[in-house]
Structure 1
Amino acid sequence: MFNPTRDQARQFLFETWRKRRSSELLTPLEDLTAQLIEKHPEFHELLANPDVALDKDYLPEHGTTNPFLHLMMHLTIEEQISIGQPHGVREQFTRLTRKYESEHEAQHAMMECLGEMIWQAQRNGGQPDAAIYIECMSKQ
Structure 2
Amino acid sequence: MFNPSRDQVRTFFIESWRKYRAKEVLTPLEHIASDLILLHPEYQTLLEDPDSVTRDFSPDEGQINPFLHLSLHLAIEEQLSIDQPPGLRAAFEACQNRHGNRHDALHDVLECLGETMFDAQRNRAQPDGAAYVSRVLRRAR
TM range (shorter): over 0.9
Alignment partner, residue 36 of structure 2: 36
The runs of 5 or more residues in structure 1 that have no matched partner are none
Residue 63 of structure 2 is aligned to residue 78 of structure 1: no
Q: Report the Cα distance in structure 1 between the residues aligned to 2:111 and 2:58, rounded to whole angstroms.
A: 16
Alignment partner, residue 26 of structure 2: 26
More displaced 10-residue stretch of structure 1: 108-117 or 57-66:
57-66
Alignment partner, residue 53 of structure 2: 54
Runs of 4+ in structure 1 deviating by more than 6 angstroms, as ranges, are: none
RMSD: 0.9
Matched pairs, number: 139
Q: Which amino acid aligns with 1:96?
A: C
Q: Report the Cα distance in structure 1 between the residues aligned to 2:123 and 2:58, rounded to whole angstroms.
A: 21
Q: Tell me the SS of whatever aligns to 1:16.
A: helix
**TM-score with structure 2 setting the length:** 0.95
Q: Which amino acid aligns with 2:87?
A: G
Deviations 1:5-30 (A, max 9, x none): 11110000010011011111111111
Q: Report the Cα distance in structure 1 between the residues aligned to 2:98 and 2:79, rounded to whole angstroms.
A: 19
Q: Report the Cα distance in structure 2 between the residues aligned to 1:88 and 1:25, rounded to whole angstroms.
A: 33
Per-residue deviation at 1:137?
1.0
Q: Report the Cα distance in structure 2 between the residues aligned to 1:48 and 1:82, rounded to whole angstroms.
A: 28
Residue 74 of structure 2 is aligned to residue 65 of structure 1: no
Alignment partner, residue 131 of structure 1: 130
Alignment partner, residue 101 of structure 2: 102
More displaced 10-residue stretch of structure 1: 61-70 or 92-101:
61-70
Per-residue deviation at 1:118?
0.5
**TM-score with structure 1 setting the length:** 0.96
Residue 39 of structure 2 is aligned to residue 13 of structure 1: no
